[in-house]
Chain A
Amino acid sequence: MAESREPRGAVEAELDPVEYTLRKRLPHRLPRRPNDVYVNMKTDFKAQLARCQKLLDCGARGQSACSEIYIHGLGLAINRAINIALQLQAGSFGALQVAANTSTVELVDELEPETDTREPVIRNRNNSAIHIRVFRVAPQ
């Protein structure tokens, strides 16, 4: 899952950073189907593109080719998700179509106290996400 890079200064301005440590929790997500691809900023772009291509061409391990895949990107990785989807489409000679959906994902930050007397603080923040459906269409 993508690193969510929203301005951290905002969070830290309110709370004394000496008193708390920021711990980000994993974003909540739904169980993964074989044709879901979560895009991140760490893996090489080409590798992720190849993975999507492979899913469309021959399918996941032990399965037949998917007629559609879902590419999910969160935060900074939205750009990359769009890029991958468009690359797939461009390389398919019109056999692939894309349909994008955007959404907002709630993220949880936990601020761990440095002193015993304080309760941990939970903060909620939102981040945008994109879900691109890439699917085959019958060539006209």
Chain B
Amino acid sequence: MRSPAHACMLAALVDSHLRGAPHPTSGRVAEMSNAKERKHAKKMRNQPTNVTLSSGFVADRSGKHHNRGGKPFQTQKSESHSGSWRQRQTKMTHHSSPGANEQSSSNIMFKKKGGWKAGPEGASQEIPKYITANTFAQARAAEISAMLKAVTQKSSNSLVFQTLPRHMRRRAMSHNVKRLPRRLQEMAQKEAEKAVHQKKEHSKNKCHKARRCHINRTLEFNRRQKKNIWLETHIWHAKRFHMIKKWGYCLGERPTVKSHRACYRAMTNGCLLQDLSYYCCLELKGKEEEILKALSPMCSIDTGLTFAAVQCLSGRRQGSLMLYRAHKYPRAMLGPVTFIWKSEGTLGDNSESRQLWIWLHPTLKQDILEEIKVTCQCTQHMESTVCIQDPLLIPPQEGNQSELPDEKTGKKRKWKDDGENAKPIKKLCGDGTRDPHQPYSWTSPTTGIIISDLTMEMNRFRLIGPLSHSILTEALKAASAHAGGEDTEKTPHQWWIETCKNPENVSLHHRQEATFKLLGGVASPAEIPAGTILGLTVGDPRINLPQRRSKVLPDPEKCQDDEKVRQLLLEGVPLECTHSFIWNQAICKSVTENKISDQDLNQKRSELLVPGSQLVLGSHESKIPVLLIQQPGKVTGDDLRGWGSGWDVLLPKGWGMAFWIPFVYRGARVGGLKETIVHSQYKRSPNVPGDFPDCPAGVLFAEEQAKGLLEKYRRHPPAKRPNYVKLGTLTPFCCPWEQLTQDWESRVQAQEASHGISCLKGEEGDFQRAQVPCASALEESRHPDNGADPATKDSHEAESVMDTECPDQARTEQASSPEATSGLCVLRNRRVLRQLSAWCGPSSGNRWAAQRAHGRGQQELTRETCLSMSDCFPRALVWVSLSLLRKGSPEPHTMICVPTQDDLQQLLQDRGYCGPLESKHSDPFKSKIRKQKEKKEAGNRQPQGQAASEGLARRGPDGESLALTQGLWPGPLPAVTSHCSRVLLGFVTQGDFSMAVGYGEALGFVSLTGLLDTLSSQQAAERGLVLLRPPASLQYRFARIAIEV
């Protein structure tokens, strides 16, 4: 009658039905909501209808069903085919027997199951005597066809193409159905038809070929970068990176491939390449004294060397410093910058005029440019019209330069107006940080300084890692000096021929070349003096591009030249070798304009007699002036010395891709903005602009970040996101620095009051006297209260050095004192920081460390020294690095807290102690939110008139409710420091597991007052231990604080 296989299939069907059905006998049957039924219906949606229909079938012919249900069982038994079947049967009966009573009630709801229940019930009572083959076969046939249908029908949401295993997929399948396996073609056809309707219509006016046409593409590209400027490497990046629009540019954020660790390895062992062309460059031209005089009020010797540092002023090294608003130090921070001076008096430049380039982050540019313009008194715009009228002020060279953008904008405008008539040019220059029609150059009639904005006039590529030497020396070849006048035919590179006429220049070029070649024998950029500058003129790097991408390895052969390498390492690059023609705008312009296009180059390559041989362009080869700047890696601290050091390459604009590809082909891995952050984090240096909470760009960054995080938080339903109120996190998305410092101030004041002022009064006098003899770091802080002390400090040369600066700084004091009460500042005084860092470390034992501290004129950590320090810097923040003792990887906005005595005791007893737990807080706002919700619903239900009358009464809470988000602390914050069981000290701004050291590391700011208070209350052995707690966790973890200067 039927095969055993069939029986098995049937059994499976029965089984699946039973399992799929909710247990009808449970007491919850009556409660079963519509939702559950809907869910069930959804599950059964793809089931063929006639299978479920069998229940209806049953209801109709229950009498017959008894027979039908019973007979096969019997036959099965007689065949004694399987014990399992019997088991299942008994199970079935067991399931259904109690349900029989309730069947009447549940029948309506679960009709399908009722049918199946009915069968066994009948079967248990009586076994059918016979079975009609005809009806039985019919029913089975229906079921089989249903099953077959179910098999052929696709139930998932995926496309047919996606159901294919990966190795069988082909690209052509997406547009040609016939490429698919035949069994899938029919379904794919249907899908394709469906997709055609959904597809966005392409613009009708242009066919695909026309759109791909070069001119049209350029037009389109120019249109697309109207708002956010593209870098020259944009298209290369856009194919491989997640692009984001930031700071007026389109920048690659992170590679699309999974490469976090690979990029780290590249930084440590290989070479990581980054395009930093979005950095802005400001050029100052004028007399050295004038420039120094103008800029000196903007920086302070306290924070490090200034523009006047000898090695930077000569042009040998790159310098870096913090800029402040003039005379406002230590408040009103503007941002960190790096700068390079053009080396003096080389190659017949008039030594009167110096050139200074200030490189800065685009977010800082507006403020700094404005401030520099004010200090240099540069108010006059310099445009081509001005140039013509006022030739006395501007050398002719500048005239050319200033005409450049004008003609460019003119061209652009023309082509916009006339449409297709003007030939669109590739936009080489653009600047995301300023309007193209705005002036970019200013001059001052009094000081004679010319400021120009050279943003996007140069490319800046950064190579990080030990392999960068090999890549540089491999990819760049110094230009061949022009041999002589035998071929005086017209070449576009006239400037190089002119230069080579002077034998001095040629010998300089050869010396630069020799120095550059020496780099190949140096294993790591960290061995070279920090900030070394090397100028060079190189040939076209596209010419000796390798056939395929490969990885260069350091050549042991090159490392043999011992004496010269030693010389280089000891003394750095000789002064004259820092000269580069990139400082000369006219030459840069000509180099940019006379670049051979890739197409022409490839054309010439294809015309070579021997395919693949070296292309020789001779005098037609471009000569590109470049400038190499060594970037010091990690210089602070003791460990990981020199990590992340590398070279920056400055190129004239237009040459970006021509250098980019050769670098990549030599094995450099490319990183995006995320890698920049990782780099600065592992280096433990603050990241621009996120880690400068006292400069406007930093504040803006924090606001944007908070907004983004809040939006993301709100996207989750309340049950799927942390309730920060319960976790005791007041501000999970931002760091309330102002409030933190204020809280600590009042906290310490309250402590003082409780300690009793009387006893302290007496000590204060002692302390004053005690402080005078020792050369204190605090005396440098120049607080009016300490005014008596600096008199003893005349030994310091700082005052005598900065003749011009002295009166300014005196004014700084006066200016800052009234302001000191408001606003926050970040402590950047190196002496004070050094003192603090000595206090932070555990001062147990270590004899020579103590000796050293004494030698450096440092003080013991006492209550008095602390007090005086925090008096000098009220509401200051300190940049600290934290390394976790055991587990845990911190994240941004993690709270830095003060451990209690018990915590430290427990840690001392148990080395494996992870840290205390914060007890859960209550959420008083939850009920409020719920009430409001209810009220709202009630209000919606009520007629309009009533709601309006109630409106007045509800106004108060309603106003609040708009801001209420469940899980976030609404409204004004309570005291941030004492909200949790451990006192809050500061916040982490960057934090992650650090692959460089192998455990969690964090960087952040703490309140100076709080830090001093904590340190002075801790035992010497465990000084500098703090607790970290991420915003979404209750667990505190121990970390050690360190201040690196």
Residues of A within 8 A of B (CB): 3, 8-9, 12, 17-19, 21, 23-32, 42, 106, 108, 110, 113-120, 122, 124
* Residues of A close to B522: CB separation below 8 A: 28
* Residues of A close to B797: CB separation below 8 A: 19, 115, 117
When the two chains form their complex, are residues B830 and A28 in contact, meaning their CB atoms are under 8 A apart? no
Of B301, B524, B559, B566, which is within 8 A of A116 by CB? B301
> Shortest distance in angstroms between A73's beta carbon and chain B's nearest beta carbon?
17
A102 to B559, CA, bound (A): 20
When the two chains form their complex, are residues B527 and A28 in contact, meaning their CB atoms are under 8 A apart? yes
When the two chains form their complex, are residues B523 and A29 in contact, meaning their CB atoms are under 8 A apart? yes
Of B310, B555, B802, which is within 8 A of A118 by CB? B310
When the two chains form their complex, are residues B639 and A122 in contact, meaning their CB atoms are under 8 A apart? no
* Residues of A close to B775: CB separation below 8 A: 18
* Residues of A close to B1045: CB separation below 8 A: 21
* Residues of A close to B840: CB separation below 8 A: none
When the two chains form their complex, are residues B641 and A26 in contact, meaning their CB atoms are under 8 A apart? yes
Q: List 23 A-B contacts (CB under 8 A).
A: A8-B852, A9-B848, A18-B775, A19-B797, A23-B530, A25-B527, A25-B641, A26-B524, A26-B526, A31-B523, A31-B553, A31-B554, A108-B570, A113-B305, A114-B830, A115-B301, A116-B305, A116-B306, A116-B310, A120-B311, A120-B529, A122-B529, A122-B571
* Residues of B close to A115: CB separation below 8 A: 301, 797-798, 801
Q: Is B851 on the interface with A (CB-CB < 8 A)?
A: yes
B residues 571-607 touching A (CB-CB < 8 Å): 571
* Residues of B close to A120: CB separation below 8 A: 311, 529
Q: Is B857 on the interface with A (CB-CB < 8 A)?
A: yes
A65 to B842, CA, bound (A): 44
When the two chains form their complex, are residues B311 and A18 in contact, meaning their CB atoms are under 8 A apart? no
A114 to B523, CA, bound (A): 29
Q: Is B1010 on the interface with A (CB-CB < 8 A)?
A: no
* Residues of A close to B523: CB separation below 8 A: 28-32
B residues 527-578 touching A (CB-CB < 8 Å): 527, 529-530, 553-556, 559, 565-566, 569-571
Which secondary structure characterizes the binding site on chain A? Answer: loop
Nearest CB in chain A to that of B851: its residue: A9
A29 to B521, CA, bound (A): 9
> Shortest distance in angstroms between A10's beta carbon and chain B's nearest beta carbon?
12
In addition to A9-B851, A25-B569, 5 A-B residue pairs with Cβ atoms within 8 Å of each other are: A17-B856, A23-B635, A30-B559, A113-B309, A119-B311
The count of residues in chain B whose C-beta lies closer than 8 Å to any C-beta of chain A is 42
* Residues of A close to B308: CB separation below 8 A: 116
Residues of B within 8 A of A (CB): 301, 305-306, 308-311, 522-524, 526-527, 529-530, 553-556, 559, 565-566, 569-571, 635, 638-639, 641-642, 775, 797-798, 801-802, 830, 848, 851-852, 855-857, 1045
A116 to B802, CA, bound (A): 9
When the two chains form their complex, are residues B852 and A108 in contact, meaning their CB atoms are under 8 A apart? no
> Shortest distance in angstroms between B86's beta carbon and chain A's nearest beta carbon?
58
> Shortest distance in angstroms between A5's beta carbon and chain B's nearest beta carbon?
10
Using known A-B contacts A30-B523, A118-B310, determine if residue A108 contacts B569 with beta carbons closer than 8 Å: yes
* Residues of B close to A8: CB separation below 8 A: 848, 852
A28 to B639, CA, bound (A): 17
* Residues of A close to B798: CB separation below 8 A: 115
A124 to B567, CA, bound (A): 12
Of A12, A19, A24, A116, which is within 8 A of B309 by CB? A116
When the two chains form their complex, are residues B309 and A122 in contact, meaning their CB atoms are under 8 A apart? no
When the two chains form their complex, are residues A117 and B556 in contact, meaning their CB atoms are under 8 A apart? no
Using known A-B contacts A24-B641, A120-B311, A122-B571, determine if residue A31 contacts B556 with beta carbons closer than 8 Å: yes
Which secondary structure characterizes the binding site on chain B? Answer: loop
A8 to B849, CA, bound (A): 10
Using known A-B contacts A25-B527, A26-B641, A28-B522, determine if residue A117 contacts B801 with beta carbons closer than 8 Å: yes
* Residues of A close to B526: CB separation below 8 A: 25-26
When the two chains form their complex, are residues B530 and A18 in contact, meaning their CB atoms are under 8 A apart? no
A32 to B470, CA, bound (A): 13
The winner among A12, A19, A30, A116 for most chain B CB atoms within 10 A is A116
Task: List the 3 shortest-distance A-B pairs measured between CB atoms, nearest first.
Answer: A31-B554, A116-B308, A26-B526
Nearest CB in chain A to that of B560: its residue: A30
* Residues of B close to A32: CB separation below 8 A: 523
When the two chains form their complex, are residues B801 and A116 in contact, meaning their CB atoms are under 8 A apart? yes
* Residues of B close to A31: CB separation below 8 A: 523, 553-556, 559
A114 to B775, CA, bound (A): 16
The winner among B554, B569, B856 for most chain A CB atoms within 10 A is B569
* Residues of B close to A17: CB separation below 8 A: 852, 855-857
> Shortest distance in angstroms between A71's beta carbon and chain B's nearest beta carbon?
18
When the two chains form their complex, are residues A119 and B310 in contact, meaning their CB atoms are under 8 A apart? yes
> Shortest distance in angstroms between A58's beta carbon and chain B's nearest beta carbon?
21
When the two chains form their complex, are residues A18 and B857 in contact, meaning their CB atoms are under 8 A apart? yes
When the two chains form their complex, are residues A124 and B635 in contact, meaning their CB atoms are under 8 A apart? no
Nearest CB in chain B to that of A114: its residue: B830
A3 to B638, CA, bound (A): 9
> Shortest distance in angstroms between B539's beta carbon and chain A's nearest beta carbon?
26
When the two chains form their complex, are residues A28 and B569 in contact, meaning their CB atoms are under 8 A apart? yes
* Residues of B close to A114: CB separation below 8 A: 305, 830
> Shortest distance in angstroms between A15's beta carbon and chain B's nearest beta carbon?
11
> Shortest distance in angstroms between B1044's beta carbon and chain A's nearest beta carbon?
12
When the two chains form their complex, are residues B570 and A122 in contact, meaning their CB atoms are under 8 A apart? yes
A42 to B301, CA, bound (A): 35
A19 to B857, CA, bound (A): 12
* Residues of A close to B639: CB separation below 8 A: 42
Nearest CB in chain A to that of B470: its residue: A31
A18 to B524, CA, bound (A): 30
The winner among B306, B530, B553, B555 for most chain A CB atoms within 10 A is B530
> Shortest distance in angstroms between B764's beta carbon and chain A's nearest beta carbon?
27
* Residues of A close to B554: CB separation below 8 A: 31
* Residues of A close to B635: CB separation below 8 A: 23
Of A27, A28, A116, which is within 8 A of B565 by CB? A28
A3 to B526, CA, bound (A): 16
* Residues of B close to A21: CB separation below 8 A: 1045
A19 to B795, CA, bound (A): 11
* Residues of A close to B856: CB separation below 8 A: 17-18
A3 to B798, CA, bound (A): 33
* Residues of A close to B310: CB separation below 8 A: 113, 116-119
Nearest CB in chain B to that of A30: its residue: B559
> Shortest distance in angstroms between B617's beta carbon and chain A's nearest beta carbon?
33
The winner among B308, B639, B855 for most chain A CB atoms within 10 A is B855
> Shortest distance in angstroms between B598's beta carbon and chain A's nearest beta carbon?
34
* Residues of A close to B569: CB separation below 8 A: 25, 28, 108
A4 to B426, CA, bound (A): 55
* Residues of B close to A18: CB separation below 8 A: 775, 856-857
When the two chains form their complex, are residues B642 and A106 in contact, meaning their CB atoms are under 8 A apart? no
> Shortest distance in angstroms between A54's beta carbon and chain B's nearest beta carbon?
18
A27 to B305, CA, bound (A): 26
A138 to B524, CA, bound (A): 38
> Shortest distance in angstroms between B431's beta carbon and chain A's nearest beta carbon?
33
Nearest CB in chain B to that of A123: its residue: B570
Nearest CB in chain A to that of B553: its residue: A31
A108 to B565, CA, bound (A): 13
A27 to B569, CA, bound (A): 10
A8 to B527, CA, bound (A): 20
A12 to B855, CA, bound (A): 8
Nearest CB in chain A to that of B302: its residue: A114
When the two chains form their complex, are residues A26 and B556 in contact, meaning their CB atoms are under 8 A apart? no
A117 to B556, CA, bound (A): 40
> Shortest distance in angstroms between A111's beta carbon and chain B's nearest beta carbon?
12
When the two chains form their complex, are residues B524 and A12 in contact, meaning their CB atoms are under 8 A apart? no
* Residues of A close to B641: CB separation below 8 A: 24-26
A18 to B830, CA, bound (A): 11
A14 to B786, CA, bound (A): 31
Nearest CB in chain A to that of B308: its residue: A116
When the two chains form their complex, are residues A12 and B852 in contact, meaning their CB atoms are under 8 A apart? yes
Nearest CB in chain A to that of B529: its residue: A110
* Residues of A close to B527: CB separation below 8 A: 25-28, 108
* Residues of B close to A106: CB separation below 8 A: 566
> Shortest distance in angstroms between B849's beta carbon and chain A's nearest beta carbon?
10
* Residues of A close to B565: CB separation below 8 A: 28
